[in-house]
Amino acid sequence: MVDIKAEEIFKEFKEHSIAEFFKKNRQMLGYSGMVRSLVTIVHEYVTNSLDACEEAGILPDINVKIDEIGEYKYRINVTDNGPGIPKKYVGKALGTILAGTKFHRYMQQRGQQGIGAAGCLLFAQTTTGKPIHVKSSTDNKKAYTCDILIDTAKNQPIVTNINEFYSDNFRGLSVEGEFADIKYENSEHGVFEYLKRTALANPHCQINFIDPEGKSYLFVRAVEQMPQRPKPIQPHPLGLTTNDLLEFAHSSESRKISSFLIETFTRVTQNKVNELRELAPSVDLDKSPKEMTWVDAEELIKSIRKVKWIAPDATSVIPIGEDQIKIALKNILNPEYMSVVERKPKVFRGGIPFIVEAAVAYGGNAGRQTDQEVSGNILRFANRVPLLFDSGNCAITEAAKEIDWKRYNIDIETQPISIFVNVSSVYIPYSGVGKEAISKEDEIIEEIKLAIMEAARGVQNFIRGKEHVAFEVGRYKTIMRYAKQLSLNLSEITGENQDRILKELENIIVAHYPKAKLNEEEKNEKEKTTESNKNKEIEDSETAD
């Protein structure tokens, strides 16, 4: 038997950078499959643009342009009207993995990792060898352009071709890259759908999209009002682990543990500190937080769990809002009927606040509708960002699966229904680095279920009505078919005029099924309107739905 010594084996020991890791495992960032890879690129840049605009208090205007420049090779440009990136930060912001302004802030944002944009660059660089090209201005006056690559061994940016100039009419960020091994597809998992859903959850933003065929689609801003700006919040004591508490304590400048607790966390008052003092007599709350030991922290956490706390501040989590969702659904899906629910803030893992919003929309452009068939779909969002992939791994899908839909007269397999769910939180527990699914935490699933069920209750009478009409329409049509034959037979027997008999019979049937008749008329009316709409679409085909 060979017996190789450890010293021999460990000659190969090396350290690696996070950039090398993701270069080798790009599927973990969402770069698996050509269609998905393209969406991931657009997703990362658009998400960053939205976060930047909102942080600066600017209504987002985003342009996305995709050009095909070879086989499975595209040039992608995303331009926004945001605050721009100061020149000295641009390399790290777009070309270093795990660098950014978001990771350490405890507030609701779309991005939270500092991985996305650098991941895109890594993907561009490894598939086409090209840097990304950036143009930015932070003040409508001075602007610059530059190229950025990553030194993957060091996870550091290489910024070249810096060119400064004066620009009167541009403020914001424009990022352009060439990417290969990707594919544009107009499917449910494609960029068009991604942007449509982005518009759905962000009615305050305007998106102009030019697809590889040069067709332009405008997702018009539906509300002129900036969403309320979430603020960084203080953590709630119930959301802390022993380790968190200890780390906060050791980096605190407070003089005593007692004042540290009041100053660092939300809902901690002098009264609460007094309660803790009684519950954990072994911990000296008058010593410096820097002297806190693990045992102290453990004791405090135990005591914290025994105290009654007011729930975390709800103002830290900003949902889309019931009215805004209604406007957006009307704007994008134009359903026959919808029910929108905004739940109260809840907490998971003890102290992380989150809010679930749900809607069920029926008819119009809701659901999946092709010439062949109609079915429902689930539109998943986390902090207003559409989640198109990994649905099987997601708390939203799980919640929808656990619902007994029959109770609400809903059949997702056959009805034109869209189930809309948005989860907002200062911390979304994504199941993977690619952030395509929300981890299946029980408290989150339960709350999503309640939200969907509440929305479903809102549409169930409407759908029952629809189904009843459908049932009557069926009967009405069947009986009408027999009426003609019957009138002929009766005419032969009685010698009476057949048309008169038929007329009489029809009157009786219509009187018996009034809804069916009404429905038929509406349908004819609608078909006419649809026809004229179609013509309209052809006329201004430059404008999207």
Residues near its own copies (CB under 8 A), total: 75
Q: Which residue has the tokens 């009405």?
A: 476
194 vs 430 by CB, closer to its own copies: 430
228 vs 541 by CB, closer to its own copies: 228
For residue 15, state whether it binds its own copies (rule: CB under 8 A): yes
For residue 294, state whether it binds its own copies (rule: CB under 8 A): yes
The burial class, CB within 10 Å (0-12 / 13-18 / 19+), for 204 is buried
Residue whose C-alpha is closest to residue 357's, from 418, 423, 447, 307: 423
Q: Amino acid identity of 498?
A: Q
- Min. distance of Cβ 30 from its own copies in angstroms? 11
Compute the distance between CA of residue 300 and CA of residue 279 in angstroms, rounded to an integer: 8
33 vs 212 by CB, closer to its own copies: 33
In the set 91, 95, 114, 237, which binds its own copies (CB under 8 A)? Answer: 114
- Min. distance of Cβ 95 from its own copies in angstroms? 12
Q: Which two tokens stand for residue 244?
A: 């968190």
For residue 308, state whether it binds its own copies (rule: CB under 8 A): no
The three-state secondary structure class of 46 is helix
Compute the distance between CA of residue 328 and CA of residue 201 in angstroms, rounded to an integer: 7
Residue 156, strand partner residues: 151
Among the residue ranges 188-196, 240-248, 340-348, 353-361, the one whose residues contact its own copies (CB under 8 A): 240-248
Interface map 198-237 toward its own copies (x if CB under 8 A):
----------------------------x--x--------
For residue 390, state whether it binds its own copies (rule: CB under 8 A): yes
96 sits in the region (left: phi over 0; alpha: psi -120 to 50; else beta) called beta
Among the residue ranges 260-268, 283-291, 351-359, 388-396, the one whose residues contact its own copies (CB under 8 A): 388-396
Interface map 153-182 toward its own copies (x if CB under 8 A):
----------------------------x-
Compute the distance between CA of residue 474 and CA of residue 480 in angstroms, rounded to an integer: 10
437 vs 452 by CB, closer to its own copies: 437
Interface positions, 485-504, toward its own copies (CB under 8 A): none
Compute the distance between CA of residue 54 and CA of residue 42 in angstroms, rounded to an integer: 18
Interface map 73-102 toward its own copies (x if CB under 8 A):
----------xxxx--x--xx--x-xxxx-
Please give the C-alpha separations between residue 331 and each of 203, 335, 363, 368, 528, in angstroms, as whole numbers: 9, 9, 14, 17, 21
127 vs 418 by CB, closer to its own copies: 127
Q: Answer yes or no: are the C-beta atoms of 427 and 352 closer than 8 Å.
A: yes
For residue 441, state whether it binds its own copies (rule: CB under 8 A): yes
Interface positions, 411-440, toward its own copies (CB under 8 A): 429-433, 439-440
Residue whose C-alpha is closest to residue 314's, from 230, 395, 246: 230
For residue 365, state whether it binds its own copies (rule: CB under 8 A): no
H-run or E-run covering 78: strand 73-80
